[in-house]
Structure 1
Amino acid sequence: MEVTTRLTWNDEIHLRKLLGNVSLSLLYKSSAHGDSIEAMLQRCSHQGCTVTMFYINCNIIVAFMLGDYSNLYENSAELNDSFWFSVQKKDDATEIETLLLNIAPQISDKELVGRSLKKDIFLIRLYNNTIYLTDVITKKLKLDFYGFKKYLECEVFRVEGFKDNLDYAKKIMKAGEHRNRLLAEIRDYKPYADLVPEIRILLVGPVGSGKSSFFNSVKSIFHGHVTCQAIVGSDVTSITEQYRIYSVKDGKNGKSLPFKLCDTMGLDETEGVGLCIGDIPHILKGCVPDRYQFNPHKPITPEHSTFITSPSLKDRIHCVAYVLNINSVDNLSSKMLAKFKKVHKEVLSCGIAHVALLTNVSNCSEVLQDNFLNMSRSVTSQSKVTIVNKMLGIPISNILMVGNYASDLELNPMNDILILSALRQMLRAADSFLEDLPFEETGAIVRVLQPCI
């Protein structure tokens, strides 16, 4: 008879993402294989990294363990570090709290015990389905109990696709926490002085550079799964033929977030192909409507039926992101470079904030420093950043790197951090632009926003 897990599909997805898109294989289930340490060891020894789950009502307490169960006896020379986290269901949402424990679990008197300074920190008694956690752990994991608690079931899963390395494990665990902090910061973001309801970020770059993919990646993160609203492709000519102003909702039915990503036709080195440079000033000033059909041979004019003749500050572009494939920045033709410089000249003349976005980063984990606050520059990426810095004069702090979700099926916390960090930097740049606007452009808006006294 096949043994099935209590773990729901959604909970499994959350746990796999937390550990870096690993695979989980059920090894042991206490109700099916026996409530004893011996039964657990028989099925779980020599299996490498594992997660052990204790089901308490609708919540799950999870222990992720490096190393092997066969090394857990008190006289073992090897010690295995562990991470604990809780999966809690609240208001139809799943919340995950994590805790790094540099405490090696050991088997003592048929119990699984973790001790620090000769004091029990956690204790599992399989023979009577009981778990003990000290109040330090329960507070960190935001559990509503401490001491001894009966659990409904214990299951152990083999973790496949995870590097058996403590530093990597710490980085993966911290990545989830940092990702959540970035999400919260962007959800709480408000444009400078409430001058506009949302920030408009223009994505400009060559055909196939990853403009549409960046929007899809941002939307995927806030929806919790990979999605593809903007059409992407690898054709030699631009897939995007319309000007699109995309909003992003916080979840499928959530509220719209305070920014919009504006996608353009790709730049092409050939005249009469791709985005017409003459459209750029009109786009920057907010004169081009959503779904305007680009004409590579001539720009939009005020005579066009949908031309916005009197755009307000909220219609304008507040930040421009020059999107480039990191693998091709040193191979831009002189004609493509000339087009970029024409675009950049228009952006500078409007005083609009700007950043560079390098896409197709192959290993996001190696790009990020351990504290996730800065990107570590490898020799390769540093040379690409220097090229863009010299090419467009963009400060190095505003040259960002991402790995878009172009062919991935699952989200990855490392990718998410780079994408969210890039988005946050764009919003900060836009705020600087708004703050620097002359009073004659913002004074009337501020007066309207101020309450009457």
Structure 2
Amino acid sequence: MAVTTRLTWNEEKILQKLLGNVSLSLLYKSSVHECSIGEMLDKCNHQGPTITVIYFHNCIVGAFLLGDYPQQGESYRNQNSFYFSLKTNKTETTEILNVEPRIISKKLEFYSSNDIIFSLIPQESKIFIHPSLLTPLGIKHLYSTNYLECEVFRVEGIKDDKSYIRRITGVAQYRNKLLSELRAYTPCADLVSKINILLLGPVGSGKSSFFNSVKSVFQGHVTRQAAVGSDVTSITELYRMYSIQDEKDGKSLPFILCDTMGLDEKEGAGLCMDDISHILEGCVPDRYHFRPQQPITSRHPTFITSPSLKDRIHCVAYVLDINCIDSLSFEMVAKFKQVQKIVLNYGESHVALLTKVKNYHGVLQEDFLNMNNTMTSQSQIMKIQAMLKIPISNILMVENYAPEWEQDPLKDVLILSALRQMLRTADDYLDDLPPGITGSIRPQALRPTL
């Protein structure tokens, strides 16, 4: 009878993506094979890169080895290994450590700076994890304990390149750094408690998908709260002000993503220009139903007549499908320029968000922070810069979560980086406000007195 893994389909996909879309071949399973270090070595020796997976009731931990398993009494120095944990089908974190794996007596031990940081005792079904790794791995109250199962997989299709492994784990580490930074973020100057980011763009450009993607990162699994689609008319008909709760502590994060009806090149279709002014001022309530030929007025029963600084928009993101930039019609470009004129008249900060960047995995072949050069041509960036007069540093790129059901650390890095730059741009806007501004700000209030 074939030996099958305990990993769920989703967990296996997460591990495959973590290592760069590899294949996993099961070599050893403790509940089927003998629970001894000898049996593990017989099954796992001379197999090349391996990943060892340890199962507990509420989480999974494991270790990746780029080279072969060590022989009894031997050790391998400077072998790139990293540790990971999975909890409720999502990757909590990864750590990369240059470790020295050894077989000591009946144990598989990993050393770093002469400390045992990870120790597996197969015949007792027990694992020891150094206390310093418990918090980074997202594990609580687990020091030395029995596990349910141990499996070892041969990793097939991975590059035998230590720098490649460093880039893979570097993405995961940078993702965690961005998450920590955004969780600790507070708006500049203590003028508002939350930043309002307005998403503006053509039908199908990825506005609602960007909100879903941001929420997915902070929830730890792919979500579909906002309806998305590819109809010729806008799927979004309601003005939505989406707040996001952090899965880590349940607290609401200090920003709101404001989703709108799509812009349309035809007159009398799509988001009405007059509605944009009211949105920027903070007069439009959540769940307002857009009417392309009938903009909201002060006579509307839910119109916010006296908005304050906390109600208005603090950053505008022009959302564009990067694959459609060359085919934007003259009418759509004119519509964007009309929108931008309104935004600039209000003194708003703004960025461009390019979505549907399909070749984002190419980042792994280079420095993953050098996203502009790796992910798209400079000509595309320059076209957006010329059209919207936006600094290149504020032209951001993402690949949203659309059909996928499992997360990708690299996608998360791009999404979080874009969000961070939006918040920084909003901080610049708040920092540049005239002293004492806390109430309603209309265009005339921002113009100098002659």
TM-score interval, normalised by the smaller of the two chains: 0.7 to 0.9
CA distance in 2, matches of 1:122, 1:287: 57
Aligned counterpart, 1:84: 82
Letter in 2 for 1:29: K
Distance 1:112 1:213 in 2: 45
- Secondary structure of residue in 2 paired with 1:231: coil
Determine the C-alpha separation between the residues in 2 that align with 1:21 and 1:160. 10
Quick check: 1:390 aligned with 2:376?
A: no
Out of 207-216 and 153-162, give the one that drifted further: 153-162
Single out whichever of 47-56 and 390-399 deviates more from structure 2: 47-56
- The equivalent residue for 1:423 is 419
Partners of 1:317 and 1:138 lie apart in 2 by: 41
One-letter code of the match for 2:387?
M
**What are the Cα deviations for residues 210-252 of structure 1, in whole angstroms up to 9, with x where unaligned?**
0010001011111111111111111111111121111111139
Deviations 1:46-65 (A, max 9, x none): 75532113568987652202
The within-5 A match list for 1:193-208 is: 193-208=189-204
Maintained 8 Å contact 1:67/1:80: no
Structure 1 unaligned runs (5+)?
Answer: 445-453
After the TM superposition, which of the residue ranges 286-295 and 24-33 deviates more from structure 2? Answer: 24-33
TM-score normalised by length of structure 1: 0.81
Amino acid aligned to 1:30: S
Aligned to 2:43: 43
Deviation sequence 1:338-357 (CA, Å, 0-9, x none) = 11011111111111110000
**Match in the other structure for 1:447:** none
Cα 1:379/1:244, change in 2 over 3 Å: closer
Match of 2:444 in 1: none
Q: Is the 8 A contact 1:368 1:376 kept in 2?
A: no
Distance 1:187 1:79 in 2: 37
SS in 2 for 1:245: strand
CA contact (8 A) 1:31 1:153 kept: yes
For residues 132 and 194 of structure 1, what CA distance do their matches in structure 2 show?
Answer: 45
Q: In 1, Cα distance between the equivalents of 2:193 and 2:254?
A: 6
Do the aligned residues in 1 keep the contact of 2:167 with 2:364 (CA within 8 Å)? no
Do 2:79 and 2:98's aligned partners in 1 also have CA atoms closer than 8 Å?
yes
Contact map agreement 2:186 2:254 (CA 8 A) in 1? yes
CA displacement 1:65-86 (0-9 Å, x = unmatched): 22555xx55999x999341326
Change in 2 beyond 3 A, CA 1:27/1:208 = same
**Change over 3 Å in CA distance of 1:177–1:393 after alignment to 2:** same
1:252 and 1:234, CA in 2 relative to 1: closer, same or farther beyond 3 A? farther
| Closer, same or farther: CA 369–300 of 1 in aligned 2, 3 Å | farther
Structure 2: gaps of 5 or more residues: 441-450
Residues in 2 aligned to 1:443 and 1:279: alpha-carbon distance in whole angstroms: 20
Q: Once the 2 structures are TM-superposed, how far is the Cα of residue 439 of structure 1 from its aligned partner?
A: 1.6
Aligned match for 1:325, one of 300, 321, 328? 321
The CA RMSD measured in Å over matched residues stands at: 4.2
User: Which residue of 1 is the match for residue 177 of structure 2?
Assistant: 181
Indicate yes or no: 2:311 matched with 1:315.
yes
Partners of 1:331 and 1:58 in 2: CA distance: 50
Distance 1:291 1:235 in 2: 21
- Alignment pair present for 1:348 and 2:349: no
Query: In the alignment, is the contact (CA less than 8 A) between 1:53 and 1:60 conserved in 2?
Result: yes
**1:4 positional shift:** 6.6
- Corresponding residue of 1:233: 229
Q: Is the aligned partner of 1:258 residue 2:229?
A: no
How many aligned residue pairs are there? 440
For residues 162-212 of structure 1, the C-alpha deviation after alignment (integer angstroms, 9 at most, x for no partner) is 555433322221222211221121122111222112111000011110001
CA pair 292-137 structure 1, distance change in 2 beyond 3 A: closer
| Paired-residue identity, % | 58
Where does residue 366 of structure 1 map in the other structure? 362
Matches of 1:45 and 1:328, distance apart in 2: 51
**Separation of aligned partners in 2, 1:250 and 1:86:** 21
Is structure 2 residue 274 aligned with structure 1 residue 278? Answer: yes
The Cα shift of 1:109 comes to: 8.7
Kept in 1, the 8 Å contact 2:95–2:173? The answer is no
Structure 2 counterpart of 1:337: 333
**Matched residue type, 2:288:** Y
Q: Is the Cα–Cα contact under 8 Å of residues 83 and 98 in structure 1 kept in the other structure?
A: no
Q: 1:243 to 1:94 in 2, by over 3 A?
A: closer
Tell me whether 185-194 or 231-240 shows the greater mean CA deviation: 185-194
The letter for the 2-side match of 1:424 is R
Q: Which moved more, 1:398-407 or 1:361-370?
A: 361-370
Out of 246-255 and 118-127, give the one that drifted further.
118-127
